[in-house]
Amino acid sequence: MRVTRRAASSAADKSDTKANAATPPVARVATPSAPPAPQAQVASAPQAQAAVDALPTAVAKPRVARRLTRPADDCDQTGLLAGKKALVFGVANDHSIAWGIARALHDQGAKVGFSSMASLIKRRVRPLANSIGSTFVEACDVRDDDEIRRVFERWHAKQGNLDILVHAVAFAEKEDLAGHFADTSRDGFHTAFDISVYSFIAMAREARPYMAPGSSIMTMTYYGAEKVVPHYNVMGVAKAALEASTRYLAADLGPSGIRVNAISAGPVRTLSAHGIAGFRTMYGAFKEVTPLRSYITIEDVAGVAVFLASPLSGQTTGEVIYVDGGFNILGLPVAE
């Protein structure tokens, strides 16, 4: 699946440039253009369907697949998510995973709204929202149930129903992302769980009345939920709870036709990630050991988010899907 980008928005282009400057280079191998296929093998979908229709009726007729993606310049009307409406929590800046997802949802035809911390809205979030023509931008501190409820009520009042909900929010105190896990304070534990886990449950609850069958909810997790990652500490335990919450919510909301999944991303250089002691060292080594030998970008994560938001994943719920270049399959990550 290809996530296409609109070329039109100059503001978006500027933020791309910034993001690329701060994101380590990922080897982009130019794909050599394939030699032209012999004419006889090239058939348009209508031609192929006509050939199938001409088969004797006793022979089972295979279905000819329709094209699922369209060229970038008309994907606003005809993308995978045309007509869908999405609300994205967690954009801090143009390096945020939430921003990568928002842009990709938009590129596939979805109408996207944003909710972020009040302090980020004016300088960071609104310019990004403007760059994709989004007018719905609401402040919310996810520690407050009333604020969460208000965002969804305003969404409903202005936009009607909701098809896609993206939760890309996490926080732990800096001192709890360094040193020993055993030293985690009670307050630090509460804070990490309140912001990084409970907020997901609260959002799903508030979104539910406005979501029709076929809707999709997703959150962002990390491998530190399963295995010990140095300094990830309380956040690893919070992510384990977030992944369990994903399964419980999926079971709760499944009968209403609402799917709930989590994306487990490999390390991405974002504001939050830099709060983890030793992130730079871990990040540097990642490319040398992960099977696909590449850093993870917000576009990589966004591709799977588009899949989870779309009917292509219509029977997938309660899952944790990795976007980590295969890192999680390794028993002993060793650089060559």
Ligand X SMILES: NC(=O)c1ccc[n+]([C@@H]2O[C@H](COP(=O)([O-])OP(=O)(O)OC[C@H]3O[C@@H](n4cnc5c(N)ncnc54)[C@H](O)[C@@H]3O)[C@@H](O)[C@H]2O)c1
Q: With CA atoms as reference, report the closest residue to 216 among 91, 112, 84, 100.
A: 84
96 binds ligand X per the rule CB under 6 A:
yes
Asked if residues 52 and 62 have their Cβ atoms less than 8 Å apart, the reply is yes
Interface with ligand X (CB under 6 A), residue from 245, 270, 310, 317: 270
Residue 136 or 171 having the CB closest to ligand X: 171
For the CB of residue 70, give the shortest distance to ligand X in the complex, in Å. 28
Catalytic residue at 222?
A: yes
Q: 168 or 217: whose CB is closer to ligand X?
A: 168
Choose between 202 and 265: whose C-beta lies nearer to ligand X.
Answer: 265
3-class SS of residue 39: helix
Give rounded-to-5 percent helix, strand, coil for the chain: 50, 10, 40
Q: How many angstroms separate the CA atoms of 12 and 134, rounded?
A: 12
98 vs 128, which CB is nearer to ligand X? 98
What is the spatial distance between Cα 318 and Cα 204, in angstroms, rounded to a whole number?
13
Catalytic residue, candidates 222, 223, 295, 322: 222
Report phi then psi at 54, rounded to 5: -75, -10
Q: Which of 15, 184, 245, 272 binds ligand X (CB under 6 A)?
A: 272
| 171 lies in the binding site for ligand X (CB under 6 A) | yes
Measured distance between the N- and C-terminal CA atoms of the chain, rounded to whole angstroms:
31
Q: How far is the CB of 232 from ligand X (least distance, A)?
A: 10
Q: Report 140-159 residues binding ligand X (CB under 6 A).
A: 140-143
Catalytic residue among 198, 210, 223, 232: 232
Question: Does the footprint of ligand X cover residue 97 (CB under 6 A)?
Answer: yes
Contacts of ligand X in 1-30 (CB under 6 A): none
How many residues of this chain bind ligand X (CB under 6 A)? 28
Measured from the CB of residue 237, what is the shortest distance to ligand X in angstroms?
13
Contact positions with ligand X (CB under 6 A) in 240-269: 265, 267-268
Residues 173-212 that bind ligand X (CB under 6 A): 195
For 282, residues 6+ apart whose C-beta sits below 8 A from its C-beta are: 229, 230, 267, 276
**Least Å from the CB of residue 120 to ligand X:** 6
Q: Does 304 bind ligand X (CB under 6 A)?
A: no
Q: Helices marked H in the chain — which ranges? A: 10-22, 45-53, 75-78, 97-107, 118-120, 126-131, 145-159, 186-193, 199-207, 233-253, 279-289, 298-309
DSSP string of 209-224, one letter each residue:
GG--TT-EEEEEE-GG
- The candidate with the shortest Cα–Cα distance to 268, out of 113, 92, 148, is 92
Longest dimension (CA), the chain: 74
**Is the CB of 75 or the CB of 91 nearer to ligand X?**
91
Please report whether residue 229 would count as binding ligand X according to CB under 6 A.
no
Our finding on whether 90 is near ligand X (CB under 6 A) is yes
The binder of ligand X chosen from 51, 52, 251, 271 (CB under 6 A): 271
Q: What residue type is assigned to position 49 of the chain?
A: Q
* Residues at the contact surface with ligand X, assessed by CB under 6 A: 90-92, 96-98, 116-117, 120, 140-143, 168-171, 195, 220-222, 265, 267-268, 270-273
Catalytically active residues are 222, 232
